[in-house]
Structure 1
Amino acid sequence: MSAPSPFAAPSLRGRIGHDARSGYYPVAHRYRLHLSLSCPHCLQIAVTHSLLGLEDTLPVTLLPALPDAGDDGYLALRPLYEATSHQHRPAAAPVLSDDWSGRIVSTDPAEILTDLARRFPGPDLHPCGAEAAIAAVRQLCELSINAPAQRAGRSDATPDERASALGVLLDGLATVERRLEAGPYLLGEDLTLADVELWVTLVRLDTVHRWHLDAAAVQGIAGHSRVWAYAGRLAGHPAFGRHLDLDGIARRHHTRCLGKEAAGAAIQIVDWAEHAQVRVATG
């Protein structure tokens, strides 16, 4: 279980290409992403950025796993926040900034992802007509995997509460298992933002939530073989595995964690590092 984020603040929500009055046009070499790969939202954005091939169009500034100014966030982001808002707020990632003005465009992860996929050239990761399906996967990941995994690992939960949460989690994984019977990816034959969302959710389940689950729970989670084969396969994809900062994820988790380690911590479901090494060796 993790403490509530000290960086919970209202998002800055400018959009690229949605409103001509904002002046945020989809122009190459104008915008910049500021990401910490230990953060699941930032990891999603980094993977999407690579899938779209935006390395030469929209640069990325990588931040450390942990903020260097405590609850005040990242020192490197402070000038952007101060230039954008008169309100004091923690300087947190992710940030999409405008190099022309030195201001923040957005700190909203879902909207940053959508604007990258819709407003810049590259593979169609957010196809027209798939909006509802992608939103449904986002809801499934949060309500049926992330949230129940955290509840199931709470040290102050009763046995019945943990069992109920685990049931919701296993049902969520079973839903994903059935969806993957129809094709290599969640929405068919091509990668979409739904796959990015699910993959980061599975990384988080195995590298963060697992630490607070008992061995039986982890064995049940690992029993969804198609789900974890899919997770390992994507970890071997150049746009996914290259951004895995396993040490950073561990440091972020253990710094913020309030829960006790359980027996499931010893049962790794996916060897993420090995999949990434295979990708490097064969790519």
Structure 2
Amino acid sequence: MSVTPLAAHTSAQPAPAFRGRIGSDARSGHYAVPGRYRLHLSTACPDGLRIAVIHSLLGLDTVCPATFLPAVPDTPEGGHCALRPLYEASAHHYTGPAVAPVLSDDWSGRIVSTHVPDIMRDLARRFGGDRPSPYPCGAESEIEAVERMCAQGIEDAAQRAGSAGGEESERAAALETLLETLGALERWLVGRTYMIRDEITAADVELWVALVQLDTVHRNHLDAGAVQRIAGHPTLWAYARRLAAHPAFGAHLDLDGIARRHHARCQGLEAAGAAVQILDWAAHASDGNGTVAQVNRD
């Protein structure tokens, strides 16, 4: 089955989104066969980190192998040379950036999907096996609510709060949105181990990755007072630290890669908050053998 991009690429647009899905039988075109599909990820990228954690929670190393890419893209347009053949095989006369993450079909040499929510859900639904599903029955609306909260209340708000080009009033309003979101999450997590169930779900993956980005990327553009207010949510950060010690999470935490990717992409000014680390992530990240993970994808 051929997959066409949803939008044509121009120099002013991001790479097109491929939205193929893995189905349950041969009629779907892309149907679930162990070993047929491959992930291409950079765990320095938040989307790549989300997928890598889900992949590890499900134990899919042999069922759907993952190829890990360098933290910093290696082409002038911001893509990866290794992905260029997949993009050129999947979109006629494609000239845009060959970006990750990608789910590809080894049988055809083409891209199935670049849409992160679809990829994570298809991995869980088609290859999850006997492992607890990160998308348990009846939890989809709760997971989607956490996804929106993380995207808008944490990641977007933190980005706007640290924007060098924004008005001071706009930055202050964004910081208040961020703090309100963190406060709501702090209150919700009191007495809980995980976000919405008694076991890890995709909601925990979303929140954990958002907190990693907040402390390793966004705080670099906030003032020290703002970072100290962000740090003032002990239940939330204890939760983040606890998940970092889980092998499916901590083994993929490429702190050096995140820093290099950020410095390669960021054009904003560093602020005093860069010196105020909230968590010592490296001290808590486990590789699954009780030791600190040393991730180097390059």
- Using CA pairs under 8 Å that are at least 6 residues apart, name the structure with larger relative contact order, 1 or 2: 1
Give, in whole Å, the separation in 1 of the partners of 2:163 and 2:17: 28
Among 139, 142, 152, the residue aligned to 1:143 = 152
Secondary structure of the residue that 1:100 maps to in structure 2? coil
In the TM superposition, what is the alpha-carbon distance from 1:278 to its structure 2 partner? 8.6
Among 52, 55, 59, the residue aligned to 1:49 = 55
Q: In the alignment, is the contact (CA less than 8 A) between 2:244 and 2:286 conserved in 1?
A: no
Give, in whole Å, the separation in 1 of the partners of 2:289 and 2:227: 29
Among 196, 207, 220, the residue aligned to 1:198 = 207
In the TM superposition, what is the alpha-carbon distance from 1:279 to its structure 2 partner? 6.0
What TM-score do the two structures reach when normalised by structure 2? 0.89
- Residue 125 of structure 2 corresponds to residue 97 of structure 1: no
Change (3 A) 1:7 1:279: farther
Deviates more, 1:156-165 or 1:29-38: 156-165
In the TM superposition, what is the alpha-carbon distance from 1:79 to its structure 2 partner? 0.8
Structure with the largest fraction of helix: 1
Among 116, 124, 129, the residue aligned to 2:138 = 129
Change (3 A) 1:214 1:6: farther
In the TM superposition, what is the alpha-carbon distance from 1:9 to its structure 2 partner? 2.0
Deviations 1:63-112 (A, max 9, x none): 10111112151111111111111133211000001111111110101110
Give, in whole Å, the separation in 2 of the partners of 1:282 and 1:62: 21
Secondary structure of the residue that 1:70 maps to in structure 2? coil
Give, in whole Å, the separation in 2 of the partners of 1:267 and 1:43: 23
1:239 counterpart residue number: 248
Deviations 1:34-70 (A, max 9, x none): 0011110000000000000111211110110111112
2:34 counterpart residue number: 28
Residue segments in structure 1 that go unaligned for 5+ positions in a row: none
2:8 counterpart residue number: none
Aligned length: 279
- Residue 173 of structure 2 corresponds to residue 164 of structure 1: yes
Deviations 1:171-227 (A, max 9, x none): 111111122125200002111001001100000000000000001100100001111
For 1:69-84, list aligned pairs within 5 A. Answer: 69-71=75-77, 73-84=79-90
Change (3 A) 1:200 1:280: same
Residue 211 of structure 2 aligns to which amino acid in structure 1? L
Deviation beyond 6 Å, 4+ runs, structure 1: none
Deviations 1:104-142 (A, max 9, x none): 110101110111111112221101211111111010001
Change (3 A) 1:252 1:185: same
Among 22, 29, 35, the residue aligned to 1:16 = 22
1:88 counterpart residue number: 95
Residue segments in structure 2 that go unaligned for 5+ positions in a row: 1-10, 293-298
Secondary structure of the residue that 2:169 maps to in structure 1? helix
Change (3 A) 1:88 1:43: same
Q: In the alignment, is the contact (CA less than 8 A) between 1:7 and 1:73 conserved in 2?
A: no
Change (3 A) 1:278 1:256: closer
What TM-score do the two structures reach when normalised by structure 1? 0.94
Overall identity of the aligned pairs, in %: 61
Give, in whole Å, the separation in 1 of the partners of 2:165 and 2:101: 31
In the TM superposition, what is the alpha-carbon distance from 1:233 to its structure 2 partner? 0.6
Q: In the alignment, is the contact (CA less than 8 A) between 1:199 and 1:234 conserved in 2?
A: yes
Deviates more, 1:11-20 or 1:34-43: 11-20
1:174 counterpart residue number: 183
Q: In the alignment, is the contact (CA less than 8 A) between 2:157 and 2:175 conserved in 1?
A: yes
Give, in whole Å, the separation in 2 of the partners of 1:39 and 1:103: 22
Give, in whole Å, the separation in 2 of the partners of 1:237 and 1:112: 22
Residue 48 of structure 2 aligns to which amino acid in structure 1? C
